[in-house]
Amino acid sequence: MDINLLVLNVGNSRLSIGVFSAGELVYSTRIPHAQRADWSAQIKGAWSRIADSDQPAIAGASVNPPLVEPLEHAVQQATGESSGQTVEWVGREIDLPIKVLTEQPNETGVDRVLNVAAAYEQLGKACVVVDAGSAITVNVCNEKGDFLGGAIAPGASMQLDALHERTAKLPRVELAAPSGPIGTTTASAIQQGVYHGIRGMVKELVENYATDLGTWPEVIATGGDAKRLFGDWELVHAISPDLTLYGIALAYANHHIKHGT
CATH number of the CATH domain containing 241: 3.30.420.40
Amino acid making up residue 239: I
- Asked if the structure places residue 222 within a domain, the reply is yes
- Asked if the structure places residue 207 within a domain, the reply is yes
Residue 258 pLDDT = 85
- Asked if the structure places residue 113 within a domain, the reply is yes
| CA-based nearest residue to 159, from 136, 178, 137 | 136
Where does a domain end: 43, 65, 89? 89
63 and 155 in a common domain: no
Give the integer Cα–Cα distance in Å for 44 and 51: 10
- Asked if the structure places residue 251 within a domain, the reply is no
125 and 53 in a common domain: no
Around Cβ 210, how many Cβ atoms within 10 Å? 15
169 and 125 in a common domain: yes
Whole-prediction pTM value? Answer: 0.94
Around Cβ 171, how many Cβ atoms within 10 Å? 12
133 and 241 in a common domain: yes
Around Cβ 233, how many Cβ atoms within 10 Å? 13
**Domain containing residue 73:** 5-89
Residue 161 pLDDT = 97
Q: Note the pLDDT tens digit of each residue in 73-128.
A: 999 999 986 677 899 999 999 999 999 999 999 999 999 999 999 999 999 999 99
224 and 127 in a common domain: yes
225 and 120 in a common domain: yes
Residue 82 pLDDT = 65
Residue 260 pLDDT = 77
Residues of the chain with pLDDT under 70: 1, 81-82
Residue 173 pLDDT = 96
Give the dihedral sign, CA 40/46/49/51: negative
Residue 61 pLDDT = 97
- Asked if the structure places residue 191 within a domain, the reply is yes
Give the integer Cα–Cα distance in Å for 96 and 122: 17
180 and 206 in a common domain: yes
Residues marked as catalytic: 111
- Number of domains into which the chain is organized: 2
